[in-house]
Chains A and B, each alone.
Chain A
Amino acid sequence: MRAGRIVLGLLVILILCGGAFFFWASWPEIAAIQPPAKTSFDPAAVKRGGELVAIGNCITCHTRSDGKPLAGGRALTTPFGRIYATNITPDPDTGIGRWSQEAFDRAMRRGVDRRGEHLYPAFPYDHFTQLSENDLKAIYAYLMTREPVQALMPANELPFPLNLRVTVAAWKLLFLRTGTYRSDPVHDVEWNHGAYLANSLAHCGACHTPRNFLAAEERGDAFGGGSAEGWYAPALNAASPAPVPWTKDSLYTYLRHGFEAQHGSPTGPMREVVASLAQVPESDVRAIATYVASLAPPNPDRQRRAEALLRKLGQPETVGAALPAPPNAGAAIFAGACAVCHSPTRSSGSAEGINLALSSAVNGPDPRNAIRVIIGGIHQADTEPGPLMPDFGGAFTDAQIADLLNYVRTRFAGQPTWPDLLDHIRRIRQGQDNS
């Protein structure tokens, strides 16, 4: 009898909670509008919107490799399945042409589309929720004045129950904290502008913060290093693997120009980010650099080690004056394939590669970037001449790449070889490990 009451009581509580959850999880449709005329938007807002869209790097996910800009269709590989980015051109039927400003704001801040459906957090509204009203207006103005493109998306490939969008509501209950950015009075205006952009629109943490098993960012380890499309996104906080600590000036140069002498070039998805940041006002990039540099507080030990390293690299005649006689295949491959650009003792003019002792990819905890760069090279956009770094995927076997990286890691980083290196190489070569 008593047990029966307890069961009944629990059942009532469960139903009430379930009801409350579904009530909380359901959003009304926002009425469709006639697509607004291009002339109805303030040209200044459209211009700023374009810059903001570049800072948010929206175009990368929302454009297929052979598609029109912002017309969607690019597949995002997540640990759970594939999600296709939507068409955010103002096409009335397949894009956001019938979305009001209110509907757009709700999608950006709450992750709910015009019809009231939950959006998957592959769309980083956990960051965009911090955007100011003015910036949302500008972004909306820019998007609604693009050329509409009719393009339907393939259906997402997600397993049950994740294919039910209500599961996203549960995720939001656990992990989504809404609210616009609040400036920190301890810091100056530039730092706050950078913190605002980096944490909201630029969504740096989406890649550079590790995620938990439900793919939410680990709040306790913000900027502690994460993953993006199978690349390692290095830690930006005190755990940064950069042998020479980043400063706001070096970060600015890297983010703005795509190369910085003591850190090298961006690789993987970061190349697209940097290409976007070349198009926005300098002050925005400086602000982001100022904020990101502050994530790793000054560390006298690291600074001393960096200075010692730079002194050593500045004296090529005493450091490895000759390459050591190849004792193994890795050393011979380095001498024949890499040294012409990456040798600390040879200069090779315009194609001079970074000294690998300075490379985060070689010094970091995760070998994937070094593997991917060797297999695929670093390529310029189609319209620019030549590769930056040629690809070696056709020249070397998996075992040869492992030999090479074991050699590079011990010689230049002075660190133990990466564990499970060959396994990483195999997985990358087979097109696995892409999330």
Chain B
Amino acid sequence: MVTLTVNGRQHQTDAETDTPLLYVLRDELGLNGAKFGCGLGQCGACTVNVDGRAIYSCLTPIVALEGKEITTLEGLGTVDKPHPLQRAFMDEQAAQCGYCIAGMIMRANALLQNQPGASEAVIRAHMQPNLCRCGTHMRILRAVRRAALAMKEAAR
């Protein structure tokens, strides 16, 4: 029995200890934001935050996560009150098929939580592991920059 803290709530799961977090999020907790892309840590569609850092949930066994704070896309904002990153992705229309977007937002969140107002070069290097097959990268980068500015303003 492993206890996971997801978006501030505790969940107990009977899954095997080597089960990747992604399966528990989607199959047991109904949190479908994080996606299965490659299952190999090569695309970033499954990205969530653990203790503020971006991780690949498809490659992180739950045994490694007890006592850590897991945040998924669902933990960021709501339809009525979107997180600045979600607001920025909507404003920039930074999605085509949308499959990669939850991972993109969560990777960006890990950066902007620590470095609101991160520079273009830092954003690009940080976002490098996440792929978008539709080719929406330019809009995604614009959205992250927009959110960076908004979060810097808010942090004042």
Interface residues of A (CB under 8 A from B): 66, 326, 329, 331-333, 335-337, 340-341, 348, 351, 377, 379, 382, 385-387, 389-397, 400
Inter-subunit contact B131/A396 (CB<8 Å): no
Residues of B54-81 contacting chain A, CB below 8 A: 54-56, 59-65
Q: B residues within 8 A CB of A337? A: 20, 59-61, 64
Is B129 on the interface with A (CB-CB < 8 A)?
yes
Determine if A387 and B53 form an interchain contact, defined as CB atoms under 8 angstroms apart: no
Residue ID in chain B nearest A393 by CB atoms: B53
Residues of B within 8 A of A393 (CB): 53
Q: Say how far B123's CB is from chain A's closest CB, in angstroms.
A: 12
A385 touches B60 (CB 8 A): no
The 3 A-B pairs of least Cβ separation, nearest first, read A336-B61, A390-B41, A394-B53
21 intermolecular pairs with C-beta atoms under 8 Å apart: A326-B18, A332-B18, A335-B18, A335-B61, A336-B18, A336-B20, A336-B59, A336-B60, A377-B41, A386-B43, A387-B41, A391-B129, A392-B55, A395-B50, A395-B53, A395-B55, A395-B56, A395-B59, A395-B60, A396-B64, A397-B64
Distance between B125 CB and nearest chain A CB, rounded to angstroms = 7
Give the shortest distance, in Å, between A271 (CB) and chain B (any CB): 15
Kindly report which residue of chain A lies nearest to residue B128, judged by CB atoms: A382
CB closest residue in chain A, given B39: A340
The one of A332, A379, A390, A397 in contact with B59, judged by C-beta atoms closer than 8 angstroms, is A390
Complexed CA–CA distance, A379 and B124 (Å)? 14
Is B113 in the interface zone, CB < 8 Å from A?
A: no
CB distance from B140 to the nearest CB of A (A): 14
Which of B42, B61, B124 touches A386 (beta carbons < 8 Å)? Answer: B42
Residue numbers in B under 8 Å from A400 (CB-CB): 64
A382, B63: Cβ atoms closer than 8 Å: no
How far does the Cβ of B107 sit from chain A's closest Cβ, in whole Å? 10
Within the complex, what minimum Cβ distance (angstroms) separates A431 from chain B? 16
> A389 — nearest CB in chain B belongs to which residue?
B41
Q: Are A386 and B50 in contact (CB-based, < 8 A)?
A: no
B13 close to chain A: CB less than 8 A: no
Q: Are B61 and A333 in contact (CB under 8 A)?
A: yes
Complex Cα distance, B42 from A417, in Å, reads 30
In the assembly, what is the distance between CA of A367 and CA of B88, in Å? 43
Residues of B within 8 A of A392 (CB): 55, 59-60
Minimum CB–CB distance from B51 to chain A (whole Å) comes to: 7
Chain B positions 2 through 44: 1 when the CB is less than 8 Å from some CB of chain A, otherwise 0: 0000000000000011111000000000000000001111110
> Is B121 part of the binding interface, using a Cβ–Cβ cutoff of 8 Å?
yes
* Chain A residues within an 8 Å CB radius of B50: 394-395
* CB nearest to B53 among chain A residues: A394
A390/B56 in contact, CB under 8 A: yes
Which of A386, A396, A397 has the most chain B CB atoms closer than 10 A to its own CB? A386
Bound-state CA distance A400–B64 (Å) is 7
With both beta carbons as reference points, the residue of chain B lying nearest to A390 in the complex is identified as B41
Q: For the complex, what is the distance from the CA of A332 to the CA of B64, rounded to whole Å?
A: 9
Q: For residue A336, which residues in chain B have a CB less than 8 angstroms away from its CB?
A: 17-20, 59-64
The distance in angstroms between the C-alpha atoms of A377 and B20, with both chains bound, is 18
Tell whether A340 pairs with B51 under 8 Å between CB atoms, given A333-B64, A351-B42, A400-B64: no
Partner of A385, one of B18, B56, B63, B131: B131
Please report the C-alpha to C-alpha distance between residue A427 and residue B56 in the assembled complex, in whole angstroms: 24
Given contacts A326-B17, A382-B125, A394-B50, whether A332 and B61 have CB atoms under 8 Å apart is yes
**Shortest CB distance A427–B (Å):** 19
Q: What residue of chain A has the Cβ atom nearest to residue B40's Cβ? A: A351
Find out whether the CB atom of B63 lies under 8 angstroms from the CB atom of A333.
Answer: yes
Q: Please name all residues of chain B whose beta carbon is closer than 8 Å to the beta carbon of A397 when the two chains form the complex.
A: 64
Q: Which residues 103-124 in B have Cβ within 8 Å of A in the complex?
A: 110, 121, 124
Q: Which residues of B contact A394 (CB under 8 A)?
A: 50-51, 53-55, 110
Q: Which residues of A contact B20 (CB under 8 A)?
A: 336-337
**Distance in angstroms between the alpha carbons of A397 and B68 in the assembled complex:** 10
Q: Roughly how many angstroms separate A175 CA and B104 CA in the complex, as a whole number?
A: 53
Contacts of A341 in B (CB 8 A): 40
Kindly name the residue among A332, A385, A391, A394 whose own CB sees the greatest number of chain B CB atoms within 10 A. A394
Residues of B within 8 A of A335 (CB): 18, 61
The CA of A76 and the CA of B53, in the complex, are separated in Å by 28
Residue of A at shortest CB range from B60? Answer: A395
- 12 more contacts with CB within 8 A, not counting A331-B18, A379-B129, are A66-B121, A326-B63, A332-B17, A332-B63, A336-B20, A382-B124, A382-B125, A387-B41, A390-B41, A394-B110, A395-B56, A395-B64
Is A390 within 8 A of B42, CB to CB? yes
Q: Which of B17, B19, B121 has the most CB of A within 10 A?
A: B17
> What residues of B have a CB within 8 angstroms of the CB of A387 in the complex?
41-42, 129
- Bound Cα distance from A336 to B55, whole angstroms: 13
